[in-house]
Structure formats: C-alpha cells, structure tokens
Amino acid sequence: MKYIYLDHAATTPMHPDVIEEMTTVMNSIFGNPSSIHGVGREAHQKLEAVRQVIADSLKVKPHEIIFTSGGTEGDNTAIIETAEVMKKQGKHIITTAVEHPAVLQPLRYLESKGYDVTYLPVDESGRIILKDFKSALREDTILVSIVYGNSETGQLMPIKEIGEILQEHPAVFHTDAVQAYGSEEISPKEMGIDLLSASGHKINGPKGVGFLYKRDGLVFQPLLRGGEQEEKRRAGTENIAGIAGMGKAVEWLTPAEKAAHKAKNKDFQEIILDKLSEAGIDYQINGDCENKLSHILNIWFKGVSGDLLLMHLDLNGVAVSIGSACTAGTVDPSHVLEAIYGKGHPAVKESLRISFGYGNTEEEMIRFADLLIKTVQRLKN
C-alpha cells in the first residue's frame, strides 16, 4: 500500500520540474557567480534570473532579494542584525508567543544581551489581538517580528493591519512567511513589511536554500561575514543548483495554481471532517477554521494521546505530526497550543497536525479518514 504523506508543513516533496531544473544546472552551470570569466558570468546570469522571478512574485525589486540557506538563516539575520544596527535607538522588540523556534531562539539570545522582548498572547483562535499590539508598542521599540501563518495551526496573523500601524512608527517589521509564501499572495510594499523570510523546501523546492526580502534603504549588517556575495549582505558562494530549483518552484506557484491548491485543500478538509462527524468522533479544530492557511489542519482528538495516534498511523502507512518538525523529538509540549489553551490543558497533548500538498489525492483523504477513525476508536477503547 502506498504511503500517505500528510506532513507537508514539515517539508514538501520536490516537484518533478524542480528536479529537472536542478539536474540541468548541475550538469551545465558549475561556475562561481562571483568569477568574472564566461563560466562565472553564466552562473551569475542564472542567479539573477531567479532573483527576478522571486522579486516578481512579491512585487518588489530584484535588489531586495537576498539568497540564504533557508528560513532559519533568514529569521536569524533579520532579527539579530536589525537589533544590532538599531540598538542605539532602543532595545525593545515585539513578537508573539506562537512563533517558530527560528524566531524565538534568536530573540532569547538577544534577551541574554540586554534586549527587552514582549511576547504577545493569542486568543482562542491563535491570533494576536491588535489592541494588545498597540499597547505593547513603545518609543524604544525597534523591531516587530510576527509570523505570517503559524506552522502548527495555520492561523494567519493580521499582517496588513500591523503594517499600517507601523507606518507611523520607526520600528522595523519582519515576518516569517515560511509557511505562507507558497500559499498566500503577499505584497510587502502594500503591507508595510520591511523584512520577510522564506524557504525553498516548503514550496516543493530543495532543502538548504531560501531567501530574505529586505526593503531597499533599510540599514542592515550581514549575519554571515566573509566574501562579498549578495552585495556584501550574505557571505558564501551561492548554491546555484538549489537557487535554480527554488526559482522553478516559485514559477510553478502562479496565482492560479495557489487558488487551485486552496480549493483542493478545502475539499480535503471537508472529507476528513465530515467523516469524523459522521462517525461520532469527539474532536475540535485548533484555531480558526476560516482565517488560516488552507494546507494545515490541526485537530484535538479528545481523550486520545497525540503521540500514540501518530505512532499507530505511522505503522499503518500515514505520515502526520503533532507539531513543528523543528521541535520534533523533544518531550516538551507544543508551545503554540499552550499559548492558545494554557499549560496542562489536554488539547496540548491530544492534538494532531495534518498538512496537505503536492501529490495528495481525494482517494488518499478517504482512505486516511477511515483509518484515522478506526485508530481513534481503538485507542479510546
């Protein structure tokens, strides 16, 4: 029986066009893009062509795209280097309690260096309250880092509204859009976003490559120091094959394709939820079912251990998760669900994240839902 992969929020399989593009580049474009001879210029041309593709997807200038090794590097660069550059103006930073570890860990590092970080709480949907954000904003606030779409619940944050509030404030606005970039239509200029992180492997591209959008004119220092690549903003010879693969993935994700994915994901969710309801399964969706990323469905199965449920599904050929892949393997409960429900709440350890993506079919959803129902019933008994 074919394995059913429903953990696309953790990573995605590479699209065949991406694999073909990377293979072609690895076979024919091996030069260093910083070299001035013909072989190097060929690599540089490929690099700049992809930069244009990504810039077009965000409606920004190519110069504003910096290639990185992925979302973690993008988040760390945006947060640590912005704080360092702006520390004379203040040391206050605003974020949320439900950020990805790639945001939370550099912020904790900055706290150890004397910075003051406000972690905004979230409501029962997992969304921050704008009134709380306005109250937290101070004269010495230098950076606001708020996730675009949460990786565990899929909850979308009020990014545009935050950007509008910050129009009258000098704080830099960063958003981790790793989960959202492949799904949502994002326009940093229109939304007031100064810095945006994204990653190739979340959009059916390769691992180990991503990009950071940096608004033109923003004062910035590189996190990685060495050579003068990326206009002195990120040292290290660029991963041409990986960048080319990411570019092909971005080309594939047209607005029409994103809309089609959303419609299909909605159908997948309805199949699963309808079958759960028909079977009388006691469940609750974590977060706001409407105002979220369409490819993530986080469900609390009341009275059933999430760990056991995941293990039984895995043994039966289904890949799902109980939280962010970057916190997998730890014994700590989900900090996202704790922020929504409170510590010790049963939902924290009785929830499952199901995430859809390229390659999934309606037949798989029916088969998965039937298996899920049988497994939940077995574990409850």
| Domain edges within the chain | 4-13+255-380, 16-252
Tens-digit pLDDT profile for residues 152-200: 999 999 999 999 999 999 999 999 999 999 999 999 999 999 999 999 9
- Over the chain (381 residues), the average pLDDT of each successive run of 10 is 92 98 96 91 95 98 97 97 95 98 98 98 96 97 98 98 97 98 97 98 98 93 81 85 98 95 97 98 94 97 96 97 64 88 96 97 98 96 83
Q: What is the pLDDT of residue 256?
A: 95
**Of the CATH numbers 3.40.640.10, 3.30.450.20, 2.60.40.3140, 3.40.50.11540, which one belongs to the domain with range 16-252?**
3.40.640.10
- Those residues with Cβ within 8 angstroms of residue 320's Cβ, 6 or more apart along the chain or in another chain: 6, 7, 310, 313, 314, 352, 353, 354, 355
What is the predicted pLDDT for the residue at 228?
73
The pLDDT value given to residue 131: 97
Catalytic one of 136, 235, 326, 366: 326
CA angle 319, 320, 321 (to 5 degrees): 130
Kindly report the CATH class assigned to 4-13+255-380.
Answer: alpha beta
Q: How far apart are CA 258 and CA 267, in angstroms?
A: 14
- To the query of whether residue 326 is one of the catalytic residues in this protein, the response is yes
Q: Which residues, including other chains, have CB under 8 Å from residue 158's CB and lie 6 or more apart?
A: 127, 128, 130
- 3-state SS of 21-72 is HHHHHHHHCCCCCCCCCHHHHHHHHHHHHHHHHHHHHHCCCHHHEEEECCHH
This prediction has a pTM of 0.94
Which residues make beta-bridge pairs with 283? Answer: 301
pLDDT computed for residue 329 by the predictor:
53
The Cα-based distances of 268 to 250, 357, 360 in angstroms read 23, 10, 9
